[in-house]
A = this chain, B = another copy of it.
Amino acid sequence: MNASKTCAVLGANGFIGSAVTRAFLGSGYRVIACDRSYDFSALERHPNLETRTLDFLDAVAVREALHGSDLVVHLVSTTKPAGSNENMAFDVETNIVPTLRLLEACEKEGIERVLFASSGGTVYGVPQRLPVKEDDPTRPIVSYGLTKLSIERYAWLFERETGLCFISLRIGNPYGPRHADMRQGVIPVFMRLARQGLPLRVIGDGSTVRDYVHVEDVARAFLLAAAYPGRERVFNIGSGKGRSVMDIIARIEAIHGSALRVEHLPARPFDIPAIVLDTNRAREHLGWRAEIPFEEGMRLTWEAM
């Protein structure tokens, strides 16, 4: 238990944020849950939970929220992969710059470490081999991924200068029960359409492969990274298995008990054909691996809807 440690979670109302908040509370941390939303109903009440509404772009408010914390989990992003190429200056201005201001605030407030939600699906671009390892070439084809990668690299410089430990988790495609609220992610969207008897709209031919990882496994990775004493700074967090969109549909059909109608939309130029993450580093150094089997995770997500 870590009753004496306080963790500030930035983006606590999000899909990963609410799971991380629960995981840290469950492990004995005190948590300052920060979000720009006033509605913290995604989080259950807990004696060690404090909530704060703030704008990540407000450096003063961010610093105030960090006061007294030991570590920070940074889950904020102002962009999504799909639209990020349309306004790269905005992406840089509202993600890299405030993250660097956050690091400055962390240094001033004596924070020990920052855990950052990076993107396993976009920092590598089109991988030269699968599964992709952390030290493989990184050539993002979306601004979202280049911004995540740039943050990792500026943070590495910042750690050299100041000693502030900054650990990046390059997360695959997270899925899980509460995602259903969010209207993003192929799994909850398809499950909702299946329940409504509507056709599933597949971008491209359905062959694109992703590495789906349950959000509770992701939250546990943050918990392990919080206590990790070693020198690695970047970890892939995925299942290590690739599944196509058609695999997802077949799994939903198995749960739903009947065939689903599918409509195909044109492929998008920024979608990479396949990504699967090599997670050996996380296993060796964090003692982490994805524990929730895909079939069970899908069933739990379906039942929670």
Q: Determine whether A268 belongs to the interface, using a CB cutoff of 8 Å to chain B.
A: no
Given A92-B92, A92-B97, A97-B92, are A85 and B161 neighbors across the interface (CB < 8 Å)?
A: yes
Q: Which of A7-15, A138-146, A212-220, A274-282 contacts B (4 or more CB under 8 A)?
A: A138-146
Q: Determine whether A160 belongs to the interface, using a CB cutoff of 8 Å to chain B.
A: yes
Output the nearest chain B residue to A98 by Cβ-Cβ distance: B89
Chain A 144-168 interface residues, beta-carbon cutoff 8 Å to B: 146, 150, 153-154, 157-158, 160-161
Q: Are A153 and B146 in contact (CB under 8 A)?
A: yes
* Closest beta carbon of chain B to A250's beta carbon, Å: 33
Give A160 to B88 CA distance when docked, in angstroms.
Answer: 13
Please give the number of chain A residues whose Cβ is less than 8 angstroms from any Cβ of chain B in the complex.
Answer: 22
Give A143 to B154 CA distance when docked, in angstroms.
Answer: 7
Partner pick for A100 among B89, B100, B150, CB 8 A cutoff: B89
Q: Determine whether A93 belongs to the interface, using a CB cutoff of 8 Å to chain B.
A: yes
* Closest beta carbon of chain B to A181's beta carbon, Å: 31
Residues in B whose Cβ lies below 8 Å from that of A154: 88, 92, 143, 146
Partner pick for A92 among B96, B104, B143, CB 8 A cutoff: B96
Binary B-proximity of A104-116 (CB < 8 A = 1, otherwise 0): 1000000000000
A88-B158, A93-B93, A146-B157 are known contacts; what are 7 more A-B pairs with Cβ within 8 Å?
A88-B157, A89-B97, A89-B104, A92-B96, A141-B160, A143-B154, A143-B157
The contact sample of 16 A-B pairs, CB cut-off 8 A, is A85-B161, A88-B157, A89-B97, A89-B100, A89-B104, A92-B97, A92-B100, A92-B154, A93-B93, A97-B97, A140-B153, A141-B157, A142-B157, A146-B157, A150-B150, A150-B153
Residues of A at the B interface (CB closer than 8 Å) are 85, 88-89, 92-93, 96-97, 100-101, 104, 140-143, 146, 150, 153-154, 157-158, 160-161
